[in-house]
A and B are shown apart, each in its own frame.
Chain A
């Protein structure tokens, strides 16, 4: 059996947020499912090491996550949180700002257009982000993180603000892009249809207590 991308055993964040044993596979679209409050988002934060467990072991590529430099790890294992944040400037301005924060040069406009098209960002790039709808903000937000082409992409409820048709299209485009570019995917979703359609490895988290 291949070495898993992430592997956890007896992972405890808080008394009611524990993960006994889980395997996240390489080269597969991993979905994390479970009822609300079961700790799906918490697991993603543990995986990008923006929080630490109280005890237990979490391995990334076979190595304890504590052994990685946290900043490098977060750039490599990129978490797109549920709540989009965009700066109060144009969509393109947001790309510029995010890239300058990461201190890497802005990719060419064709690439940005390509990525935003994938995410169905159907507004002009010079439109101000503060005028976007919830669903548009979410798609712009995802497209910025996707454009960095991380090694692992963690998506927390990526379709929560989207209608069913758009959700399927966006998910199809993103999963295709990730497969083409060898980006590993771990997705938290409570949308059963999305999970059934795209999941290649379903990890179920059970609520405790």
Chain B
């Protein structure tokens, strides 16, 4: 197989020209997000350049400690993104989310890298990109799941009050809400699995094919990562909600 065509910096910059089209469409449609588009493009560029250099350094000088530090930072950032600004969550709920995200992500990642791919978890070339996909998707799943859960219990306040007054255990009242939120959080991942290969060629597979990997190898990785993502989303959202909702009532079965 041929390797990927190296992008020269000038050629590469040409891709930014496409953003002019987006800008024009936004202007025409009176979407006042041109500032966001510029900031987003700039942030993406700067963040990825930095990460690119860091990864290049880590791959050239593989060191278990560096890999673990990188992994820890990824997890910390994803936890922060999942709970920041959520004033409706109490402290215990936030701890539940953080713990669930870290444990589920790490479990699926370790299984994937050490058992399926048979590489060391300290090997940055496998651990870091796979962790990004697994933990990033788990974070998105948790965002959807928690948002759905909190919104639905707020919306159904009179139902919850009625069931409390009826003498129903808060656990039995909240459990169906948690189940519904988990279902909602899982749908995007399941939908993308359904459309995969027909509607779109997923990013990781595209990347591997571009860099010269045999498509048959690329699809195996893609299938594996999709199953890994599905599992980490499912597990992390399930654990977050099931640990978290118990913080919404006390041992006198009263809502807090």
Taking Cβ atoms with an 8 Å cutoff, the residues of A that contact B are 48-52, 66, 70-75, 78-81, 83-85, 98, 101-102, 145
Q: Are B164 and A74 in contact (CB under 8 A)?
A: yes
Contact of A81 among B161, B168, B254 (CB under 8 A): B161
Contact of B167 among A51, A66, A74, A84 (CB under 8 A): A74
Q: Are A71 and B169 in contact (CB under 8 A)?
A: yes
* Further pairs besides A71-B167, A75-B166, A85-B158: 14, Cβ < 8 Å: A49-B252, A50-B161, A50-B164, A52-B254, A66-B252, A74-B167, A74-B253, A75-B167, A81-B162, A101-B163, A101-B168, A102-B166, A102-B167, A102-B168
Interface residue B11 (Cβ < 8 Å from any Cβ of A): no
CA distance A72 to B168 in the complex (A): 9
CA distance A66 to B169 in the complex (A): 16
Which residues of A are found within 8 Å of B255, using beta-carbon distances? Answer: 50
Residue of chain B at shortest CB distance from A101: B168
Interface residues of B in 165-213 (CB under 8 A from A): 165-169
Which residues of A are found within 8 Å of B168, using beta-carbon distances? Answer: 71, 101-102
CA distance A84 to B252 in the complex (A): 24
Q: Are B158 and A70 in contact (CB under 8 A)?
A: no
Which residues of A are found within 8 Å of B254, using beta-carbon distances? Answer: 49-52, 70
Q: Which of B158, B167, B252, B255 has the most CB of A within 10 A?
A: B167
Which residues of B are found within 8 Å of A48, using beta-carbon distances? Answer: 165
**Could you list some 23 contacts between A and B, CB below 8 A?**
A48-B165, A49-B252, A50-B161, A50-B164, A50-B255, A71-B167, A71-B169, A71-B253, A74-B164, A74-B165, A74-B253, A78-B166, A78-B167, A80-B165, A81-B158, A81-B162, A81-B165, A83-B158, A85-B158, A85-B159, A98-B166, A101-B166, A102-B167
Q: How distant is A197 from chain B, measured CB to nearest CB, in Å?
A: 26
Contact of A79 among B158, B165, B252 (CB under 8 A): B165
Q: Are A78 and B165 in contact (CB under 8 A)?
A: yes
Which residues of A are found within 8 Å of B158, using beta-carbon distances? Answer: 81, 83-85
Q: Are B253 and A70 in contact (CB under 8 A)?
A: yes
Q: Are A85 and B164 in contact (CB under 8 A)?
A: no
CA distance A173 to B27 in the complex (A): 67
Which residues of A are found within 8 Å of B159, using beta-carbon distances? Answer: 85
Q: Are B166 and A83 in contact (CB under 8 A)?
A: no
Which residues of B are found within 8 Å of A81, using beta-carbon distances? Answer: 158, 161-162, 165
Q: How distant is B196 from chain A, measured CB to nearest CB, in Å?
A: 36
Q: Are B167 and A52 in contact (CB under 8 A)?
A: no
Residue of chain A at shortest CB distance from B255: A50
Q: How distant is B182 from chain A, measured CB to nearest CB, in Å?
A: 22
Q: How distant is A97 from chain B, measured CB to nearest CB, in Å?
A: 11
Residue of chain B at shortest CB distance from A103: B168
Residue of chain A at shortest CB distance from B163: A101
Q: Are A85 and B253 in contact (CB under 8 A)?
A: no
Q: How distant is A150 from chain B, measured CB to nearest CB, in Å?
A: 9
Interface residues of B in 232-256 (CB under 8 A from A): 252-255
Q: Hey, what's the 0/1 contact readout for B127-166 against A, CB within 8 Å counting as 1? A: 0000000000000000000000000000000110111111
CA distance A71 to B159 in the complex (A): 17
CA distance A107 to B75 in the complex (A): 55
Q: How distant is B87 from chain A, measured CB to nearest CB, in Å?
A: 21
Residue of chain B at shortest CB distance from A69: B253
Which residues of A are found within 8 Å of B163, using beta-carbon distances? Answer: 101
| A83-B161 in contact given A49-B254, A52-B252 (Cβ < 8 Å) | yes
Residue of chain A at shortest CB distance from B160: A85
Which residues of A are found within 8 Å of B167, using beta-carbon distances? Answer: 71-75, 78, 102
CA distance A73 to B168 in the complex (A): 11
CA distance A49 to B161 in the complex (A): 12
CA distance A75 to B165 in the complex (A): 8
Residue of chain A at shortest CB distance from B172: A101
Query: 9 smallest A-B Cβ distances: which pairs?
Result: A75-B167, A74-B167, A85-B162, A70-B253, A85-B158, A79-B165, A83-B158, A85-B159, A70-B252
